[in-house]
Amino acid sequence: MQQFPIFDEVTPITPTARMSAAVHGGRAKCLQRLIRLDFPVPATVALSFDAIRGIARGRMPDIAAILAAFEPGRLLSVRPSSQDPDWGGPGAVLNIGMSDAAHARLSRTIGAAAASRLYLRFVQTYAVHVARLDPETFEPDAGAPPEAALAALLSAWEAETDEPFPQDPGVQLAEVLRSMARAWEGTTARLLRQAKGAPADAGLGLVVQEMAMGVGPDESGSGVIQFVDGASGQPQVTGRYLSQSQGRDALSEARAIYLTRDERGPSLEDICPAIFDELHRLGRIGRRRLREEMQIEFTVEAERLRILDAVRVQRSSRAAVRIAVDLAEDGVIDRADAICRVDPNEISELLHRQVDAGAHRDLLVRGIAASPGAAAGRLCFTAAEAQACAARGEEAILVRRETTPEDIRGMNVARAVVTLRGGVTSHAAVIGRGLGLPCVVGASDLAIDRRAGVIVAPDGRRIAEGEIVTVDGTRGEVLAGEAATVEAALHDSVRTLLGWADGFRDIGIRANADTPRDAQTARNFAAEGIGLCRTEHMFFEGDRIGLMREMIFAEEPDDRRAVLDRLLPLQRADFAALFDIMAGQPVTIRLFDPPLHEFLPADKQGLRELAETLSLPVPEVSARVEALSEYNPMLGMRGVRLGVTVPEIYEMQARAIFEATAETARHGDPVVPEIMIPLVSAMREVELVKARIDAVAASTRAMTGVDFDYRLGVMVETPRACLRAGDIAEHAAFLSFGTNDLTQMTYGLSRDDAGRFMSAYVREGVYEEDPFHLLDTEGVGELIRMGAERGRARSPGVTLSICGEHGGSRRAIAFSRELGFDYVSCSPFRVPVARLAAAQLAI
Ligand code: PEP
Ligand code: MG
């Protein structure tokens, strides 16, 4: 092979060598840092990404020049150095340079058996990983003495290759480098690292290092040490040490000992106290200077400590937060750095119970991960069954084709919800997130056989009602049986980190909260108010649905008013509870939005019950229900259209809000309620509703004798409202963009049906992602931008926000910041994630 001297691609690591993680990889750069800190690192040479690319294409660097960097006769190791350690790389190769001559030489210093073990290990690795020979042929005979096992492997080599085992260290090194470079280019390795987020052209560097001998006279061995617990992040010396060993053997061998002196048996601290103290000292320096918790790989060579490597400690989400906060509290990093080191999704994991990472997963079906967390329980097919199950003190998992508002009572008691239809903004998904309930939607490969009382998984397995399943809403999977879970833990360091994040954040974070329970969660997570209270959810509580149905069936406005008068005190109490919990923070109440038809029974049994309650014949009730049904209810009689045509409902809600305001003003923090009108598409709608609400406000002030203010706003969720936002803003104190309906209407894509083809659309690259999940900043975003600009031009002080399901996502927060919005509003459990993401964007 032709050889070119490309010295700049081969760099002996010295304190002053020109090196960078982007050229030589993270491991090489880290080793240079250790060398600069005077850690006892054996001589090391770094090969850059370009060098390795060249080797893969047959351009070998000057091997003699590499070897010249090391003391003659020393064994060498080669390890990968990719830009991000998470992207992996080929396994390390140790003991390069082992040959008959080296074996004879080492037999004199460390004994024949130890020398044979080193040689044996090298021949095995070289045969399997470098020459790619059959691993079984090169499996050493565990029962044979080392010398005999070695002889057997060397003759196996000759038999397989018709050549003696290579004796020249230069040849060995070149072959090792070539096999590692080629392995990195292989399809499997490429796919694996791309799955971990590596770019297609990610580079591999390699480090060649002089071996420290963990085998030999006096105390010799190898081990790893770290100073925090990877699961909790708490300070704790963790690791193992194994006498007469190499590499990371100590981590896999049962004979390895612990590091600290305690009741578990002999320790490194006992047998080598000076080495243990030195590791401690170096650990402290490493933490401070590398500004990170590192796991240190070390070798003891005849009682001398050598540091081979240091890598970032592997950590759980919980530990990631604790480590970042501890580093900042110790002044090692600053607060901004700590905030940026935690992935906001890790916070989300901590707020919900999760399937244990090590648990056995018996997958039944995959769907869309609509609300994170995990729960196990008995399979229930209806809300009533879920309620009965909960009443027996058992955990219920509600599985429905799709949920409707009627299912809310079942969802309230269920531990998790699964639907076969629907996407991330379907009813089940929205309510699931609001309640913090694990939820998988759009599990369309699952079939429900109600008659047989079973669900049928895609592999044909049938799980009967009452059997146990586990729902993993974080991954969007339903598992058979009960998988082990780990509890949620919002420990002190999360609170501390989020507190710091609030100091950097420059956009408000509110919560979408419909009930006092949601509001309390929002408050616990330090939301700065409620950005969206969907009041219709209140009408499914207790027996209110009966009153709602009576109201819907009322013939005349006066009859309707009479029923609404009975709903009034209930709504007033709802709002008073929200105001109390939110203690003076803004509360945005959206007036009634859904089509009335959603409150009516869908099955015969329900119709019969309704006929009984209303004292009407069943056919009459059926006819009325029929008459109220619409071909396209989401574009029909809902939102402000109800407000304009059946004004009594909004008037009752406004009165309830104002009376609650007056009541709270008497005993608590003063409240300025924010009333929001849904589904507006024309300015005149706002004028009409506003005039009525103003009148209700005036009459409530007169009746209660309490003076109060209120703010009237508009939910901008139709394309026309975006286009006409200028007119609309003249009558509105705030505009809140409802990105769920706005996405639905901009794309002409049904929120409830898009799940059926969404995966095909994403797979084919038609959409980058489900636009109900990831805000489409181009199309929908253009309308929002236009709405914001037009609204502001006519009413410069207008408050702007996003309150659709996208609100808590990093992308929507970044977009809202760019447009100078005042706040985003998201489900209560998303609030901590949004606080962190917003701070990261501001830093
Ligand atoms: C929206 O449309 O974005 C919204 C928040 O309202 P809903 O999801 O209740 O329609
Ligand atoms: Mg909407």
Residues 628 and 612: their CA atoms lie apart, in Å, by 19
217-246 per-position pLDDT tens digit: 789 999 999 999 988 899 999 999 999 998
Average pLDDT over residues 149-170: 96
pLDDT band of 489, cuts 50, 70, 90: low
At residue 317, the pLDDT reads 86
Average pLDDT over residues 34-47: 97
Q: How many domains does the chain have?
A: 4
* Pocket lining: 434 vs ligand 1, CB cutoff 6 Å: no
**Same domain for 278 and 174:** no
CATH code at 246?
3.30.470.20
Q: Is the Cβ–Cβ distance between 318 and 491 less than 8 Å?
A: yes
Residue nearest to atom 3 of ligand 1 (CA): 738
Q: What is the DSSP string of 463-500?
A: EETTSEEEEETTTTEEEES---EE-----HHHHHHHHH
Q: Is the Cβ–Cβ distance between 93 and 126 less than 8 Å?
A: yes
For residue 254, is pLDDT > 80? no
Residue nearest to atom 8 of ligand 1 (CA): 740
Token pair for 282? 């170096």
Q: Look up tokens 């079942």; give the residue.
A: 410
Which value does ipTM take for this structure?
Answer: 0.99
Confidence (pTM): 0.85
**Same domain for 175 and 264:** no
467 belongs to a structural domain: yes
Q: Which segment, 384-388, 538-542, 568-572, 606-610, is predicted with the most confidence on average?
A: 568-572
**Same domain for 255 and 195:** no
> How close is the Cα of 653 to the center of ligand 2, in Å?
18
- Give the lowest-confidence range in 38-47, 763-772, 789-798: 763-772
95 φ/ψ angles, rounded to the nearest 5 degrees? 65, 30
**Same domain for 204 and 229:** no
Residues 384 and 43: their CA atoms lie apart, in Å, by 71
For residue 534, the ligand 1 atom closest to its alpha carbon is 9
**Same domain for 40 and 110:** yes
- The residues whose Cβ lies within 5 A of ligand 2, an ion, are 717, 738, 741
For residue 593, the ligand 1 atom closest to its alpha carbon is 9
Pocket probe mutation, ligand 1, options 408, 424, 425, 518, max atoms within 8 Å of Cβ: 425
For residue 532, the ligand 1 atom closest to its alpha carbon is 5
568-596 per-position pLDDT tens digit: 999 999 999 999 999 999 999 999 999 98
> How close is the Cα of 739 to the center of ligand 1, in Å?
7
What's the distance, CA 622 to chain centroid?
47
206-215 per-position pLDDT tens digit: 999 999 989 8
For residue 6, is pLDDT > 90? no
814 belongs to a structural domain: yes
720-747 per-position pLDDT tens digit: 999 999 999 999 999 999 999 999 999 9
* Pocket lining: 717 vs ligand 1, CB cutoff 6 Å: yes
Average pLDDT over residues 94-107: 96
At residue 195, the pLDDT reads 77
Average pLDDT over residues 115-125: 95
For residue 739, the ligand 1 atom closest to its alpha carbon is 3
For residue 540, is pLDDT > 90? no
821 belongs to a structural domain: yes
Residue nearest to atom 9 of ligand 1 (CA): 534
Average pLDDT over residues 684-700: 98
Just list the catalytic residues. Answer: 427, 803
At residue 694, the pLDDT reads 98
* Pocket lining: 514 vs ligand 1, CB cutoff 6 Å: no
* Ramachandran category for residue 380: left, alpha or beta (phi over 0 → left; psi -120 to 50 → alpha): beta
311 belongs to a structural domain: yes
**Same domain for 781 and 813:** yes
522 φ/ψ angles, rounded to the nearest 5 degrees? -60, -45
Q: Which ligand is nearest the CA of 590, by number? A: 1
> How close is the Cα of 535 to the center of ligand 1, in Å?
12
Identify the residue with better confidence: 11 or 391: 11
> How close is the Cα of 804 to the center of ligand 1, in Å?
5
Residue nearest to atom 5 of ligand 1 (CA): 804
Tally Cβ neighbours within 10 Å of residue 173.
21
724 belongs to a structural domain: yes
432-472 per-position pLDDT tens digit: 887 889 999 999 999 999 889 999 999 999 999 999 999 99
For residue 278, is pLDDT > 50? yes
* Pocket lining: 826 vs ligand 1, CB cutoff 6 Å: no
The residue from 418, 451, 486 where one domain ends is 486
Q: Is the Cβ–Cβ distance between 825 and 508 less than 8 Å?
A: no
Residue 131 CB-density burial (10 A; 0-12 exposed, 13-18 middle, 19+ buried): middle
Residues 128 and 751: their CA atoms lie apart, in Å, by 54
Q: Which ligand is nearest the CA of 803, by number? A: 1
Residues 26 and 198: their CA atoms lie apart, in Å, by 14
* Pocket lining: 685 vs ligand 1, CB cutoff 6 Å: no
> How close is the Cα of 395 to the center of ligand 2, in Å?
32
**Same domain for 588 and 444:** no
The residue from 256, 288, 315 where one domain ends is 315
Strand 204-210 and strand 76-82: pairing?
Answer: antiparallel
* Pocket lining: 738 vs ligand 1, CB cutoff 6 Å: yes
192 belongs to a structural domain: yes
Q: If we measure between CA atoms, which residue out of 91, 79, 295 comes closest to residue 205?
A: 79
Strand partners, 418: 399, 440
Q: Look up tokens 């019969």; give the residue.
A: 608
* Pocket lining: 598 vs ligand 1, CB cutoff 6 Å: no
**Same domain for 286 and 434:** no
Q: If we measure between CA atoms, which residue out of 424, 559, 507 comes closest to residue 823?
A: 507
425 φ/ψ angles, rounded to the nearest 5 degrees? -115, 15
For residue 1, is pLDDT > 60? no
Q: Is the Cβ–Cβ distance between 736 and 531 less than 8 Å?
A: yes
At residue 87, the pLDDT reads 87
340 belongs to a structural domain: no
Q: Look up tokens 């280019």; give the residue.
A: 185
Which helix (H) or strand (E) element contains residue 626? helix 618-628
Average pLDDT over residues 292-311: 95
Average pLDDT over residues 141-148: 90
**Same domain for 590 and 554:** yes
Residue 172 CB-density burial (10 A; 0-12 exposed, 13-18 middle, 19+ buried): buried
CATH code at 563?
3.20.20.60
> How close is the Cα of 645 to the center of ligand 2, in Å?
19
> C-alpha distances in angstroms, 166 versus 140, 152, 347?
19, 16, 53
Q: Which ligand is nearest the CA of 736, by number? A: 1
For residue 740, the ligand 1 atom closest to its alpha carbon is 3
* Pocket lining: 638 vs ligand 1, CB cutoff 6 Å: no
Pocket probe mutation, ligand 1, options 431, 714, 744, 803, max atoms within 8 Å of Cβ: 803
> How close is the Cα of 8 to the center of ligand 2, in Å?
60
For residue 537, is pLDDT > 70? yes
494 belongs to a structural domain: no
At residue 3, the pLDDT reads 45
For residue 487, is pLDDT > 50? yes
pLDDT band of 24, cuts 50, 70, 90: very high
CATH code at 196?
3.30.1490.20
Q: Is the Cβ–Cβ distance between 593 and 650 less than 8 Å?
A: no
**Same domain for 794 and 723:** yes
Ordered alpha helix ranges (H), 647-724: 647-667, 683-704, 719-723
Residue nearest to atom 10 of ligand 1 (CA): 741
pLDDT band of 597, cuts 50, 70, 90: confident
**Same domain for 29 and 153:** yes
> How close is the Cα of 433 to the center of ligand 1, in Å?
14
The residue from 486, 518, 542 where one domain ends is 486
Structural domain of residue 186, as residue ranges?
7-210
* Pocket lining: 803 vs ligand 1, CB cutoff 6 Å: yes
**Same domain for 753 and 643:** yes
Strand partners, 298: 223, 307
Pocket probe mutation, ligand 1, options 741, 744, 824, max atoms within 8 Å of Cβ: 741
For residue 178, is pLDDT > 50? yes
180-198 per-position pLDDT tens digit: 999 999 887 888 888 778 8
CATH code at 392?
3.50.30.10
* Pocket lining: 741 vs ligand 1, CB cutoff 6 Å: yes
At residue 546, the pLDDT reads 86
For residue 830, is pLDDT > 60? yes
764-793 per-position pLDDT tens digit: 999 988 899 899 999 999 999 999 999 999
The fraction of the chain above a pLDDT of 70, given in percent, is: 99
> How close is the Cα of 740 to the center of ligand 2, in Å?
6
Averaged pLDDT score across all residues of the chain: 92
Identify the residue with better confidence: 761 or 746: 746
What's the distance, CA 729 to chain centroid?
37
Which helix (H) or strand (E) element contains residue 535? none
CA angle 387, 391, 397 (to 5 degrees): 50
Q: Is the Cβ–Cβ distance between 375 and 416 less than 8 Å?
A: yes
Q: Which residues of 382-410 are buried (b: 16+ CB within 10 A; e: fewer)?
A: bbebbbebbeeeebbbbbbebbebbbbbb
* Pocket lining: 571 vs ligand 1, CB cutoff 6 Å: no
> How close is the Cα of 727 to the center of ligand 2, in Å?
20
623-673 per-position pLDDT tens digit: 989 988 899 999 999 999 999 999 999 999 999 999 999 999 998 888 999
For residue 744, the ligand 1 atom closest to its alpha carbon is 2
